[in-house]
Structure 1
Amino acid sequence: MTPGARAAAAIAALDAIVAGAPAEQVLTRWGRSARYAGSGDRAAVRDLVYDALRKRRSAGAAGGGSDGRALILGLLRLSGDSAGTLFTGEGHAPSPLTAEEAGHQTGPLTDAERLDCPDWLLPLVRDSLGIAAEPALLALRERATVFLRARGDRAAAAASLADEGIATRPHPNVSTALEVIANARKIQSSESYGKGLVELQDASSQGAILDLPLRPGLRVLDYCAGGGGKALALAARERLEIVAHDADPRRMADLPDRAARAGAEIAIARPGELSGDFDLVVVDAPCSGSGTWRRTPDAKWRLTPDRLDDLCRLQRRIVAEAAARVRPGGRLAYMTCSLLSTENEDIVPHALAGPCAGWDALPPRRWQPDGAGDGFFLAQLVRPGAAPV
């Protein structure tokens, strides 16, 4: 595909996404139908679409509209590239610019446009992060760094990856994390990945797992396990009795294979199958995902105040359910990949006033989205009793 044809494909995909279709679904469908597109073409179109979604408001302002054509035009202008080289109308390229498009002048941007944030959400982010709000939102406009979690010797894992042409460097603050600096798209087909030497996991999420106190033999529940990333990271740290649970068991479909690849023993409990209590219950709660919007930028534009309220109610309910599984002296670890206090710090006093009354709350930790990882939050609540975890 020519650069112009890639731009035209990105425009069509963006039109479908702006109309309400999920970005991943649109791109997958296009990739299956565009048999003429090679892997490089598919990657280039994906990059264009996701870059435009990360900068949807500023690109729209620069392009003079909100449809796919305006977003790609605006993206080119934001990057200082000439639109005339792609909007030629030749072959499969987008048609040439109209006089109106060519003459469009970008006026002063509001803060929300400049930071590529929905108007209603900006005050919440500012209230949640204070002076860190603007750096966080600016970081979410850029592509995310790819991190791996090394199982065992990090240096050995890095050397194995290097032998396959995948360059990494160690994270300075997270002892298990490797930042991928070249050939990230080769990871899942690599022998190192196939042997379970590494797993894809963001550095902030790894840091949260490293913050949890563990000792051999603890009974641990990953209550909202999803694909099982937290359970696998826990298993890599210590010999534990780990149970993975999710309200939608389909999310755990790949976990047995992932556990086998990692040499981990993880029991799976479907809804209604949990029994007994646990020394540690990990709740990686469903949330807005605002700390990871670099990776799923269309989610930023789909979030609404009503949806956020629904998520907060769900989080409070899940904490109550999970707390009932913590044995005396045990610990509840509440996590989200959200930037918002309503989903993070505000959940803690609600829990202490209800299902966790009388428990102790440790100082929470926040990770901001930057080159060192995604936005993440961890709160730990300890139930009174003998032999605290």
Structure 2
Amino acid sequence: MAVLDALVAIENGRAADRVLKAAFDRRKWLPPARSRIARLTLGVCRHRAQLDWWLEQAGCRSAPLARLAAALVLIEGLDKGQLRKHLPHLPTPETHAAQFLMDHTLDHPDQPAAVRSNLPSWLMPHLKARFGDRLLAEATALCGEAGLDMRANAIKGGRDAAMAALAEDGIIALPTPYSPVGLRVEGRPAIARSRAWREGLVEVQDEASQLAALILGAKPGERVLDFCAGAGGKTLAIAAAMANKGRLIATDSDERRLTEAVTRLRRADVHNVTRHVIGAEGDKWLSRQKGAFDRVLVDAPCTGTGTFRRNPDAKWRSSAEELAHLTALQAKLLDRAAALVKPGGRLVYATCSILAAEDEDQIDAFLARHAGFRIVPLADAWAAVGSEVPEPGAGPHLLLTPARHETDGFFAAVLERLP
């Protein structure tokens, strides 16, 4: 069964999105079958803590096959006969566990908070410190499913043109509440088959990620650096804000990911981007760029806690040790990027994390190390976004969460180098 094969691969440490893509590339299933395979696979990842809790109550060892059987009963609501059709050769322990679970639902009052939230236990104190009384609502939203957001490409006509092109293919898209170039799509249509996608009028990108790129405030003619560009999602958004004018450099330590950006740049008709692979600490190119940029974006590697809706398998690979490693790396990247900002220029630090250790704490520590920078309050920085609505929330930083804003969890701080 395709779902079981995917769950075994995920259990062995592979990312769910890559596992599913490889499976769909091998087998040409029709879209309804693909959708069901993906939904069930990610559903097991999404609710793994509760599934494991119930399997323990049933006296069954947690493993991919047992979790799948439990999910079919507790999430899909299958009865004994339906379960046998889906899993005809289910071993005896898993069969007994499934029969036990047929008298229950996924939720139970005896489940600990981490189990009810389907989050790893080590993460709960961090989320409690962040959200306080809103912990349950935010944790529940993190366990939900994300919608589909897109960014309209201003280089090729903007949001109205994108909406019209999508409508030609029967895809209903509505403006997002905060991003002036964002679109939210109903359902899960085949975006890649649409004319809007093929012609580069749209790019799939969560609204929060769009805002992190827009708040940089890059203008046509400036010299801008996307310091941790990856596959180029925010690079594309910045290039559109610059109207293809000026110089935008995308750097990353992963050459493979930077190469992936090439196709996206061509489809979007972006011409002002050059790519550079960053090497070790002593990268000579970086040493020659001190004080050279008007704007620098550091979209730092992070735990990805804000994207657990999209990547539910990632929460089970996260750990306190990983957090410690990443916070040290984030501080190092910020220090390296700071030297590249010209006097009066701006540095934006962003993460798709909702943990203070990766967000506000990093900014406070950075300002303590770098007296030549100041924080730009969100109310002032928001003008660069070009949105008709007020900034989402008070405070000096941009902090978005699924429960409050219906976006991925995201953090961004705007820093300005003093003259």
Distance in 2, matches of 1:304 and 1:333, equals 26
Q: If each structure's helix is expressed as a fraction of its own residues, which one has the higher value?
A: 2
Q: CA separation in 2, counterparts of 1:194 and 1:32? A: 19
1:169 counterpart residue number: 174
Q: Secondary structure at the match of 2:414?
A: strand
1:53 alignment counterpart: 45
**Given residue 195 of structure 1, which amino acid in structure 2 is its aligned partner?**
E
Shift of 1:206: 1.0
Tell me the equivalent position of 1:289. 304
Provide the residue aligned with 1:4 in structure 2.
Answer: none
| Counterpart-to-counterpart distance in 2, 1:376 and 1:19 | 28
Q: Secondary structure of 1:353's match?
A: helix
Match of 1:178 in 2: 183
**Residue number in structure 2 paired with 1:112:** 114
Higher RCO, 1 vs 2 (CA within 8 Å, ≥6 residues apart): 2
AA partner of residue 103 (structure 1):
F
Q: Which amino acid aligns with 1:364?
A: H
Match of 1:81 in 2: 77
Q: Identify if the C-alpha distance between structure 1 residues 231 and 47 changes in structure 2 by more than 3 Å, giving closer, same or farther.
A: same
Q: Which runs of 5+ in 2 are unaligned?
A: 377-395
Cα distance, 1:164–1:377 mapped onto 2, change above 3 Å: same
Contact 1:226 1:252 in 2 (8 A): yes
Gaps of 5+ in 1: 1-7
Structure 1: distance between partners of 2:87 and 2:252: 49
| 1:261-340 superposed matches below 5 A | 261-264=267-270, 265-271=272-278, 272=283, 273-274=285-286, 275-276=288-289, 277-340=292-355
How far apart, CA to CA, are the structure 2 residues paired with 1:224 and 1:36? 35
Moved more, 20-29 or 211-220: 20-29
Q: Would you say the 8 A contact 2:227–2:297 is kept in 1?
A: yes
TM superposition shift of 1:309: 0.5
C-alpha distance in 2 between matches for 1:147 and 1:52: 24
1:345 corresponds in structure 2 to 360
Distance 2:25 2:161 in 1: 37
Aligned to 1:357: 371
Residues 112 and 118, structure 1, Cα contact 8 Å, conserved in 2: yes
Q: CA deviation at 1:122?
A: 0.7
Q: Once structures 1 and 2 are overlaid, which stretch shifts more, 288-297 or 236-245?
A: 236-245
Letter matched to residue 254 of structure 2? D
Structure 1 position 92, deviation (Å): 5.8
CA-to-partner distance for each residue in 1:249-281, whole Å, 9 max, x for gaps? 221112233222222221112224344310110
Deviations 1:133-188 (A, max 9, x none): 3222211212211100012331221111010122211112221111110343x112
| 2:254 matches 1:248 | yes
Does the CA contact (< 8 Å) of 1:235 and 1:242 recur in 2?
yes
Write the distance in 1 (CA, Å) between the matches of 2:77 and 2:87. Answer: 20
* Mapped contact 1:62–1:78 kept (Cα < 8 A): no
What's the counterpart of residue 132 of structure 1?
Answer: 134
Paired letter, 1:247: S
1:377 aligns with 2:411: yes
Q: In the TM superposition, what whole-angstrom CA distance separates every residue of 1:35-79 from its partner, at most 9, and x where no partner exists?
A: 474443233212101011011111222344522233233334443
Asked if 1 retains the 8 angstrom alpha-carbon contact of 2:218 and 2:224, the reply is no
- Partner SS for 1:144: coil
Q: Describe the SS at the equivalent of 1:254.
A: helix
Q: Which amino acid aligns with 2:312?
A: P
Deviation at residue 28 of structure 1 after TM alignment: 4.2
Match of 2:216 among 208, 212, 225: 212
Q: 1:89: how far off?
A: 4.9
The alignment yields a C-alpha RMSD, in angstroms, of: 2.3
CA–CA distance in structure 2, aligned partners of residues 384 and 244 of structure 1? 24
In structure 1, how many angstroms separate the alpha carbons of the residues matched to 2:209 and 2:221?
A: 23
**Residue 89 of structure 1 contacts residue 95 of structure 1 at CA under 8 Å; is this kept in 2?**
no
Distance 1:205 1:325 in 2: 23
* CA distance in structure 1 between the aligned counterparts of 2:131 and 2:250, rounded to whole angstroms: 32
Report percent identity of matched pairs: 36
Contact 1:62 1:73 in 2 (8 A): no
CA apart distance, 1:294: 1.4
Q: Could you tell me which amino acid in structure 2 is paired with residue 268 of structure 1?
A: R
How many residue pairs get matched? 375
Partner deviation per Cα, 1:14-41 (whole Å, 9 max, x = no partner): 23423434333443454455x4744432
Is the 8 Å Cα contact of residues 216 and 295 (structure 2) preserved in structure 1? no
8 Å contact kept, 2:375–2:415 = yes
How far did residue 131 of structure 1 move?
A: 3.1
- Which deviates more, 306-315 or 78-87? 78-87
- The equivalent position to 1:24 in structure 2, one of 17, 31, 36, is 17
Q: 1:13 pairs with 6, 26, 35, which one?
A: 6
Quick one: distance in 2 between partners of 1:182 and 1:115? 25
Aligned equivalents of 1:380 and 1:345: distance in 2? 12
Letter in 1 for 2:95: T
Letter in 1 for 2:71: L
User: How far off its partner does 1:364 sit?
Assistant: 1.1
